[in-house]
Amino acid sequence: MKTPKWSKASIVAIATILLWLKTYIAYKTSFDIKIENWRQEIILFINPLSFLMFIFGISLFMKEKNQKRYVLITSFIISAVLFANVVFYRFFNDFLTIPVLFQTSNMSDLGSSVTELINFSDLLYFADFIILAVLLKIKPKFMGYREYSKVDRRAFFLVAIAIAFFNLGMAETERPQLLTRTFDREMLVKNIGTYNYHLYDAFLQSKSSAQRAMADGSELADIDNYVRANYLPPDDKMFGAAKGKNVILISMESTQNFVINQKVNGQEITPFLNDFIKDSYYFDNFYHQTGQGKTSDSEFLVENSLYPLSRGAVFFTHSGNEFTATPEILNKNGYYTASLHANNKSFWNRDIMYQSLGYQRFYSLPDYEVTEENSVGWGMKDVDFLQQSVQHLKEMPKPFYSKFITLTNHFPFELSEEDRFIQPYTSDDKTVNNYFPTVRYQDEALKLFVQKLKDEGLYEDSIIILYGDHYGISENHNKAMSEYLGKEITPFESTQLQKVPLIVHIPGQKGKTISTVGGQIDIKPTILHLLGIDTKSDIDFGSDLFSKDRLDFAVLRDGSFITKDRVFTRETCYDKATGEPTDKNSCEPYMEKAKNELEYSDKIIYGDLLRFYDKSAGSKGSFPKSEE
């Protein structure tokens, strides 16, 4: 007897339902998406459905063989996109963007980090694809096929459209102006779904690509006026305090401020830094402001006093832009400028970007003697890297500006037993446990480096600036961090954990702790003013950390900001004294400033607007409408 056509299961329906349920399960188990009420739960549950109906609905126009092949391939691709987001989220606590996908040249260097993030159980993320493939192979007759009429197809897509509009309507009610106001990818995924988010991201990428072509110099006028209005003159006592000195700028990989003056297992985590800050200016309310570009973003902030992008890394997406970076400025003021990093020169596209920033020399992997014995994790150990670098410093023309990128204190925080100066922490979280020994190792490397500078006669003629580049422990490890710190990691505490050390050592000057709120964007004007170089004509969003009248303010790349008394994050205003939510109106005066600075900086980068800027004219300059 012939089987009725309706008695067979529809491959389109099965594929859609399986992937829909799998996505929702992934939301609940693999991502830390905050749900505040039942409406948000409904939104989260339904948001993958309209996309899946549209994408699998295309197969309704195909013949049987092509339909089954299309559904199977599409199921695999979407599963791969979901899995890629899961792996990326495990470390970065963030979702993928298209610019990040263009950073594939970094993948060969990731090695152990990627391996650490993938588990055998991850095969479950492809369970629906495997089920479909098995059914098509073993029970091909179970997966039915029928010719769909125009009416059937029209009804199918009308349902998909209705679900999409219902989703957007509920999302707009929960978060007004969702697509125009948010810097938070988690907010987008929670409301429109991970797949629709990627479509929106593709739209943003196309928009950003068009911005440079459409940009003209007139867009700089408002930005220039804003920068001039917020410019702070340097402190008279500090301006030129290090004039003519060499500059040694060291990026401390993944170093957060909570390790300073703290112990683990009864031993100091950073004994050298704890002593060094006694003879240095130590900024204990200083924040990293990086986005998806992590270390490269911190370099971009420090060199340009511009914010990184919310998507991808400027080092990749806009390395051909015109910048007015610290190395370029110092080149014109008699300095020799160099960056030192014992890694492949193409990693994070540094070889290209450093040319745009104005570096005269990049000491990379070929400039070091790298062996298996002096390498671990991501590459050359910090002790050997810094020790070998001193010879490069000795050979540089004086005065020099040198930037060092350390590496050992990098996820997954690997370290051989002979290099451990303290034992790991003892929680159930391997990442947090291993973080402390690698921080301690970095501290020892810095101690030996400073001693060698003294031995080689470089110490007294150099200012040394140490800063943390970004967080090392993401929010995915809040449980173990809560155990170590002895308090719950609320959104307020999580924002406070974005503090990184900033230590400025100037020979002959006494140490002092300065508690002004600042961020990496403030380093450029601070360094230039210490060297006696005026920044009044630069387009900088940072301000000198030593300025007397500076505003206590730092805005993070996700739109959160910190002031003297308040922290604003995840749409909530917190009182810093208590760590508890307070009246949102008390954060209101700073919201516009945070929004303006991020948007103005984005405009400069996307439009490559500094190509139009006449620095010599400053705020009185004209802004031509096209490039000469």
**Positions marked active-site:** 295
Helix 294-304 to helix 523-530 angle (10° resolution) is 40
Distance between CA atoms of residues 299 and 433, nearest Å: 28
Q: Which helix (H) or strand (E) holds 614?
A: none
In sequence order, which residues have a C-beta less than 8 Å from that of residue 395 and are 6 or more positions away? none
Backbone φ and ψ for 148, nearest 5 degrees, come out as -100, 130
What is d(CA 358, CA 365) in angstroms, rounded to the nearest whole number?
20
- Beta strands at 336-340 and 361-363: parallel, antiparallel or unpaired: parallel
Place of tokens 């490559």: 608
Tokens of 453: 């500078």
Burial grade of 200 (CB within 10 A; 0-12, 13-18, 19 or more) = middle
Nearest-angstrom CA–CA distance, 107 and 485 = 34
State how far the Cα of 433 lies from the Cα of 428, in Å rounded to an integer.
8
User: What Cα–Cα distance (Å) separates residue 330 from each residue in 298, 335, 400, 522, 618?
Assistant: 19, 5, 9, 17, 18
Q: Who contacts 413 (Cβ-Cβ below 8 Å, separation ≥6)?
A: 377, 431, 434, 435, 437, 438, 472
CA distance 581 to 202: 36
Cβ burial 48-79 (10 Å sphere, 16+ → b, else e): bbbbbbbbbbebbeeeeeebbebbbebbbebb
Report the C-alpha gap between 318 and 295 in whole angstroms: 16
Q: Are the C-beta atoms of 198 and 593 separated by less than 8 Å?
A: no
Return d(Cα 34, Cα 28) in angstroms, integer: 10
The DSSP result for 568-581, as a single string, is EETTEEEETTT-SB
Q: What is the CA radius of gyration of the chain?
A: 27
Tokens 């939104």 belong to which residue? 43
Length of the chain: 628
**Of 436, 421, 71, residue with least CA distance to 256:** 436
- The secondary element (H helix, E strand) that includes residue 177 is none
Which of 358, 318, 327 minimizes the C-alpha distance to 102? Answer: 318
d(CA 571, CA 390): 47
Is 433 within 8 Å of 427 (Cβ atoms)?
yes
Is the separation of the CB atoms in 445 and 485 below 8 Å? no
* CA angle 385–330–343, rounded 5-degree value: 25
What phi and psi values does residue 251 have, to the nearest 5 degrees? Answer: -85, 115
Provide the 10 A C-beta neighbour count for residue 26.
Answer: 20
| Helix 382-395 and helix 430-455, axial crossing angle in degrees, nearest 10 | 30
Burial 464-478 (b: 16+ CB within 10 A, else e): bbbbbbbbbbbebbb
Amino acid at residue number 157: F
